[in-house]
Amino acid sequence: MRRAWGLPFGCPPRDVEGRAAEASRPLPLPREPPPFAIGLSVAGALSFAHGAILATVFAALAALLHVYIFVMESVQWTQPRIWKRFGLTDQAAAETTKPLAYNQGFYNLFLAIGTAIGLVLYLSGAAESALRAAGLALVLFSLGSMVAAALVLLTTGGRYLRAALLQGTLPLIGFVLFLFA
């Protein structure tokens, strides 16, 4: 629709070459963001930075827990207080299962190392850098693997529920927080 803007006889505005110019249209108003926009963290109360800090804390705690599990399984396995914690009944059983526990402990250590390296990369990179993306991918893979290992532990029997919850809760919380950070 053309409008006259102060020109005589209702003439439409003209450009410098005398051609009729299109009437300017008002720019659309910016829309309000939806109430649950991307980047929302922890019930909308925390900003992006707070979500990333919480995610980092939970991921670091999960890594430390898995280092502790490594120490118990690969270093201290034959100590009575340790093998009893894992449900063994005597020292002979601890000696028999020592190679298995040693191997399993290193799996836990590697998951912890993957999480730690991922956190270093994530925190070292600028917002949207390849370094930060690589760190995030490594953290999510390591935390996801920890959660998967806890689920596998659950499939071995109900008596491992407490251990699976202990092993899987911190990485699960960290994983979810990193998805929204």
pLDDT band at 50; cut points 50, 70, 90: confident
Question: Residue range 41-45: average pLDDT?
Answer: 46
Among 100, 110, 109, CA closest to 69:
109
C-beta separation of 109 from 74 below 8 A: yes
pLDDT at 49: 72
Q: Specify the 3-state DSSP secondary structure of 46.
A: strand
pTM of the predicted model, to two decimals?
0.72
3-class DSSP assignment, residue 143: helix
Instruction: Please tell me the distance from the alpha carbon of residue 113 to that of residue 101, in angstroms, as a whole number.
Output: 18
Q: Measure the CA–CA gap between 53 and 37, rounded to whole angstroms.
A: 19
Q: What average pLDDT is seen over the chain?
A: 84
Q: Where are the beta strands (DSSP E) in the chain?
A: none
CA 22 – CA 153 distance, rounded (Å): 70
Residue 1 three-state SS: coil
Distances (CA, A) of 134 to 40, 85, 110, 121, 124: 22, 37, 17, 7, 11
Residue 137 token pair: 């991918």
The pLDDT of residue 3 is 46
Q: Is residue 36 scored above 50 in pLDDT?
A: no
- Give the whole-angstrom CA distance, residue 170 versus residue 22: 61
CA distance 98 to 100: 5
Above pLDDT 90, what percent of the chain? Answer: 65
